[in-house]
Amino acid sequence: MSRLVVIGAGLGGLAAAVTAAARGHRVTLLEKNDWLGGKAAVLELPVPGGNGAYRFDMGPTILTMPRVLKRIFAEAGRDLAQALPMTRLDPQWRCFFADGRRIDLQEDIGAMAASMEAFAAGSGEGYRRFQAIARQLHEISERFFFWKPVGGVVDTMDWRAQFSGRALSDLKALRMGQSMAGVVRKEVPDPQLAQMLDHFCQYVGSSPYLAPAVLAGIGDMQVSEGIWYPQGGTRGVATALESLAGELGVELRPGCAATGIELEGGRVVAVKAGSERIACDAVVSNADAIRTMVELLPEGAIRAPKHEPACSGVVLYLGLDRRYPQLAHHSFVFSADPEAEFDAIYRQGIPAPDPSAYLAAPSVTDPSVAPPDGEALYILVHTPYIRPGQDWQTMLPGYRRVILDKLARTAGLEDIERHIVVERHLTPPDIRDRYATLDGAIYGLASHGRFAGAFKPSNRVKRIPGLYLAGGAAHPGPGMPMVLMSGWIAADALHKDLAAQGAA
């Protein structure tokens, strides 16, 4: 039986540990924090005076593509529906625009097309065309991009079929050289509706003006499988995986930080955790991919690829003594000028003066998150990753005011300040320090570049035998389903490699 060490117990690390253990490997899972789940953590804030508490998902709050999680549980012969009950959400988002208009993003394409047609004449058929393109891009991703280790276009190719009619048709359909924003606006030119569709790109923390067209496939991934709320919030995903890992015999070691990866003859032989040395046959690092190469491997072992971090963010956790009925479970409050907003964040490297805000108001689905008639309101505003000279301890009070003023103007939350009972926050440096991300990036590495922007470091590190990568900074990228898939891919690749070596 081979011995594996998984570094980092984020969702990717938990998925890798479960998959590898289910296939018969002996797995040790190291996590520097005292909880497992990485960003899928929970924050509980008691009401002053002891009358109840507010419960917040601290990181990801939107679960799509549940079949990825289902596949991971199936590795162990478990039924996801029994392990983690979930509620399907429709509308998926509620959208608030700067001029006071609103529209709900609905799961059903026909119903959504009708709503968009009423919002802006001619947009209904345009949305149907966009979703047809999204479906095609999703299907191509399933064939060439998902469920296998990929680090570049060469890894996606089936050399025996590359010149077939279908392969050439798929290559053309990828719209290489086009941006996601360009694909959206060709079919849906109305600026507000285009802004709504642009925000599929926010799952990967990147600008739709810089991201490749293939990311439009996210639109079909969401529509075809829905948006879900797990019992207990998205924290429930982490706890369900942790429980399954324990059942499978994974050695779970929270509060134990990996400090190095030892190589012998160029291949992985052990992990160091302070003064402890853990011999192993392979390592899955769920730590940031770039930081793994720079900080955990011996100096000079490998040259880390040059990748720009994705965006960071400011998160406000507001325990309120009232609910706002105009909010859906998930809402977006949009900026007046998305091009200016994305330019500020991604080119200038400054917080957007008029930002878009994502709000999760889960009490409409799960009243247990707050005292009666209260709300555990989660607010996320994207910001640049950490730039020199930016002192967020000084910047936060003013930017908090910008955010709350935005919610008051655009979403009708004029009185929110006086209804705050308890409050906490995260800034880019908090995110960097808490989760050991590259420059405070929430989503790993930016998906920028119209030709190769979708590619991340491969799950199989070819130059270091025995080293595999999982998480948002590895293939296939950020977002809950992709991070979970990255863990499965890493475990599947190492299982096949060890079997080929006769070590499985």
Q: What is the pLDDT of residue 151?
A: 72
Instruction: Place 159 in a pLDDT band, splitting at 50, 70 and 90.
Output: very low
Please state the rounded mean pLDDT for residues 327-337. 98
- The model's pLDDT over 348-406, given as tens digits with 9 standing for 90+, comes to 999 999 999 999 999 999 999 999 999 999 999 999 999 999 999 999 999 999 999 99
Residue 164, SS3?
coil
CA distances from 40 to 158, 387, 485 (A): 36, 25, 16
Q: What is the pLDDT of residues 259-287, one digit of tens each?
A: 999 999 999 999 999 999 999 999 999 99
Cis, peptide link before residue 353, omega less than 30° from 0: no
pTM above 0.85, yes or no: yes
Q: How far apart are CA 85 and CA 350, in angstroms?
A: 41
74 dihedral zone (left: phi>0; alpha: psi -120 to 50; beta): alpha
Which of the listed ranges 137-146, 168-177, 408-417 does the model predict with the highest average pLDDT?
A: 408-417
The pLDDT tens digits for 409-440 are 999 999 999 999 999 999 999 999 999 999 99
Q: Is the pLDDT of residue 162 over 60?
A: no
As a whole number of angstroms, the distance between CA 254 and CA 14 comes to 12
Between these two residues, 151 and 313, which has the higher pLDDT value? 313
Over residues 30-43, the mean pLDDT reads 97
Of the listed ranges 11-25, 142-156, 407-421, 425-439, the least confidently predicted one is 142-156
Confidence (pLDDT) at 202: 87
In the three-class reduction of DSSP (H, G, I as helix; E, B as strand; rest coil), residue 139 is classed as helix
| Contact by Cβ (8 Å): 178, 212 | yes
Q: What is the pLDDT of residue 172?
A: 59
pLDDT for res 161: 52
pLDDT value at position 337? 97
Residue 440: alpha-carbon gap to chain centroid: 14
The 10 Å Cβ neighbour count of residue 246 is 15
Cis preceding linkage at 305, omega within 30: no
Using CA atoms, how far apart are residues 106 and 88, in angstroms rounded to an integer? 12
Chain segment 198-254, per-residue pLDDT in tens: 999 988 888 999 999 899 999 999 999 999 999 999 999 999 999 999 999 999 999
Structure tokens at 23: 């296939």
Residues 6+ apart with CB under 8 A from 411: 96, 324, 326, 327, 331, 333, 359
Q: How many Cβ atoms from other residues are within 10 Å of residue 63's Cβ?
A: 26
Question: Rounded CA gap, 13 and 490, in Å?
Answer: 9
Mean per-residue pLDDT for 147-151? 86
> Do 311 and 442 form a contact (C-beta atoms < 8 A)?
yes
Output the pLDDT for position 216: 93
- Closest among 251, 269, 287 to 27, alpha carbons compared: 251
Give the domain 3-40+63-85+231-307+450-503 fold: FAD/NAD(P)-binding domain (3.50.50)
Q: Extract the tokens encoding 177.
A: 């050289």
What is the C-alpha to C-alpha distance for residues 462 and 273, in angstroms, rounded to an integer? Answer: 24
The pLDDT, as a whole number, for residue 501 is 87
Q: How far apart are CA 247 and CA 419, in angstroms?
A: 43
Tokens standing for 188?
């849906």
> What's the pLDDT tens digit per position in 442-470?
999 988 876 666 789 999 999 999 999 99
Q: φ and ψ at 44, to 5 degrees?
A: -115, 125
Pairing between β-strand 330-333 and β-strand 93-96 as defined by DSSP bridges: parallel
153 pLDDT band, cuts 50/70/90, is: low
Mean pLDDT of the chain: 93
The share of the chain scoring above pLDDT 70, in percent, equals 94
* pLDDT > 90: percent of the chain: 86
- What pLDDT, on the 0 to 100 scale, is given for residue 200? 93
The token pair at 142 is 């399933």
Q: Which of 285, 271, 280, 286 is nearest to 503 (CA)?
A: 280
Q: Check residue 142 and give its pLDDT.
A: 86
- DSSP notation for 63-77: EE-HHHHHHHHHHTT
Nearest-angstrom CA–CA distance, 499 and 504: 5
Residue 74 pLDDT > 50 = yes
